[in-house]
Amino acid sequence: MKPMRVRVNSAARFFCAPDWNWDTSSRGFADWDLWVVLGGTGVLRTGAERFPLARGDTFVLRPRTRYRVSHDPSQPLHVVAVHHDRIADAAVSSAPSTDPFHRRVVPIEFLAGILDRIIRFHLRGSGDEADAWLTVALTERASADQPQPATGAAARIAELCTQIRERPGDRWTLGTIASLVGASPQHVSRLFKQSVGTSPSRYVRDVRIATAKAYLRGSSLPLKRIASILGYHDEFHFSNQFRSATGVRPSEFRASV
């Protein structure tokens, strides 16, 4: 099969409204779409197949194919979509010529960073750079290790981490986390350190800061609203924690991207 060259047609980040749903109709798209879930939960349907959606689920949506997507209004989807053409070209270093339709990429942070570059270069009108980064994204997606099922305590911690990523605004105290895992706070702290490499409180903070960065990059929501969504009791607390983690205030970060 001939190698494929890719050409970005559009690239954007979407924070879906609670009442959002999506149906491409039977005509589908005229081009391909790399569609990546960065947050929220939902379901994608195509034909008789049904795919639950959560952070880390990625899809290569084919042209002229119907897709229907819905989500949980209490956990709205946050996605990146990169529409592109694929052109047979044996003369260039190119993206994989075949891609799995669905692939779960966990952790998603590295791929999310590549997607940010695609969006940034596309918005600047730097088509060659956007195309090159899309090739990197598709290659990374194709080669990413697939998560292996965890067992026992590790499985409980992994499931809890998923819940924290999907609902970073919940009240994630050590006591709450311990009760969900079914162990003492001290034991949970040790399990978290062994499984994740950090403490529960630091993990919650890091997830909130990563989610805040996504909102600051991809939305015009006021800082007070972002703070509320992420579980901070006021904008001042949010700003202080963001600055402690990143070295800059949220407003400075937003102005720099």
Write out pLDDT tens, residues 4-31: 789 999 999 888 888 888 999 888 889 9
Assess if residue 125 is contained within a domain: yes
- How would residue 250 be classed by pLDDT, with cut points 50, 70 and 90? very high
Of the candidates 125, 143, 161, which is a domain's last residue?
Answer: 143
Same domain, 36 and 139: yes
Torsion angle (degrees, nearest 10) of CA 168, 74, 42, 130: -60
Contact 252, 242 (CB under 8 A): no
Same domain, 22 and 126: yes
Q: In this structure, which amino acid lies at residue 218?
A: G
3-state secondary structure of 202: helix
Assess if residue 20 is contained within a domain: yes
Same domain, 61 and 99: yes
Same domain, 66 and 185: no
Containing domain of residue 55, as a range? Answer: 8-143
Assess if residue 3 is contained within a domain: no
Q: What pLDDT, on a 0 to 100 scale, did the predictor assign at position 92?
A: 46
How far apart CA 173 and CA 157 sit, in angstroms, is 15
Q: Which two tokens stand for residue 176?
A: 């709450």
Same domain, 195 and 241: yes
Assess if residue 231 is contained within a domain: yes
Query: 50: domain CATH number?
Result: 2.60.120.280
Same domain, 175 and 136: no
If one counts the domains in the chain, the total is: 2
Nearest to 34 by CA among 144, 142, 166: 142
What mean pLDDT do residues 207-235 have? Answer: 89
Assess if residue 1 is contained within a domain: no
Same domain, 45 and 71: yes
Assess if residue 181 is contained within a domain: yes
Same domain, 163 and 183: yes
The DSSP bridge partners found for residue 61 are: 33
Using only C-alpha atoms, what is the Rg of the chain? Answer: 19
Write out pLDDT tens, residues 176-218: 988 888 888 998 898 888 777 889 999 899 889 988 888 888 7
Of the candidates 99, 116, 143, which is a domain's last residue?
Answer: 143
Most confident range (mean pLDDT) of 7-21, 99-113, 150-164, 232-246 is 232-246
Per-residue CA distances from 36 to 77, 80, 108, 137, 141 (Å)? 10, 5, 9, 11, 10
Q: Which residue has the tokens 């990143």?
A: 246
CB proximity list for 224: less than 8 A, separation 6 or greater: 234, 235
Per-residue CA distances from 118 to 23, 49, 211 (Å)? 25, 29, 19
Same domain, 127 and 12: yes
Same domain, 158 and 246: yes
Q: Which two tokens stand for residue 238?
A: 């949010």
Query: 168: domain CATH number?
Result: 1.10.10.60
Assess if residue 230 is contained within a domain: yes
Same domain, 183 and 139: no
For 99, half-sphere exposure in the C-beta direction (CA atoms, 13 angstrom radius) is 28
Of the candidates 143, 164, 195, which is a domain's last residue?
Answer: 143
Same domain, 77 and 139: yes
Assess if residue 74 is contained within a domain: yes
Q: Which two tokens stand for residue 190?
A: 């040790």
Nearest to 28 by CA among 60, 62, 82, 64: 64
